[in-house]
């Protein structure tokens, strides 16, 4: 399993060349080639990624609210990510939205996030923020939301079922 993360700078440095190089090995040496991205460059590269053997893409997205998105990313534009997600969908890439659960930031929109992903046929793992304390301009402890608490809240509104799927990482499905 090879996991490559990065945004536009990595693409400009020849990441597409790497995917072209790895593509012939998919049937024999590699089970899957997956990319994790913020999604902003997918309108340009989604089709090319698919033609080079990528079938699943992980997109980091913690909110569907532009104001919160700007706060979380400090400079991002939610519309760019949503356009990237649409491009990935049009390119037939399977989409997983990685969402960091943040107390007092995005916890009030978790149900809408789940509904959006169900309607769009996206996988949606929630990720626990690392409680690292003061990291300069914010205190992460203020936004730590334990996944057990989130799971209890979600299970009161949605039916949850544990499955045996594993993607090789620490996630529980």
pLDDT tens-digit series, residues 114-141:
999 999 999 999 998 875 555 555 556 6
Q: Return the closest-CA partner of residue 49 out of 91, 7, 8.
A: 91
Is the distance from CB of 90 to CB of 97 less than 8 angstroms? no
Specify the pLDDT at position 38. 93
Whole-number pLDDT of residue 103: 92
Q: How many whole angstroms separate alpha carbon 130 and alpha carbon 122?
A: 24
Q: CA angle at residue 154 from 149 to 79, to 5 degrees?
A: 105
Give the mean model confidence (pLDDT) for residues 54-65.
94
pLDDT of residue 169: 64
Q: How far apart are CA 45 and CA 49, in angstroms?
A: 6
């Amino acid at each position: 399993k090879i996991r490559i993360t990065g945004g536009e700078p990595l693409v400009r440095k020849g990441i597409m060349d790497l995917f072209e190089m790895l593509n012939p090995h998919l049937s024999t040496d590699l089970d899957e080639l997956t990319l994790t991205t913020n999604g902003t460059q997918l309108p340009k590269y989604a089709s090319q990624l698919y033609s080079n053997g990528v079938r699943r893409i992980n997109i980091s997205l913690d909110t569907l609210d532009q104001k919160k998105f700007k706060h979380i990313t400090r400079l991002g534009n939610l519309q760019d990510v949503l356009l990237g997600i649409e491009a990935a969908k049009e390119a037939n890439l399977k989409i997983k939205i990685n969402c960091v659960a943040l107390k007092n930031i995005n916890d009030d929109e978790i149900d809408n996030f789940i509904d959006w992903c169900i309607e769009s046929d996206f996988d949606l793992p929630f990720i626990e923020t690392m409680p690292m304390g003061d990291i300069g301009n914010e205190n992460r402890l203020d936004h730590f939301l334990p996944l057990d608490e989130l799971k209890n809240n979600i299970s009161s509104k949605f039916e949850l079922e544990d499955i045996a799927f594993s993607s090789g990482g620490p996630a529980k499905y």
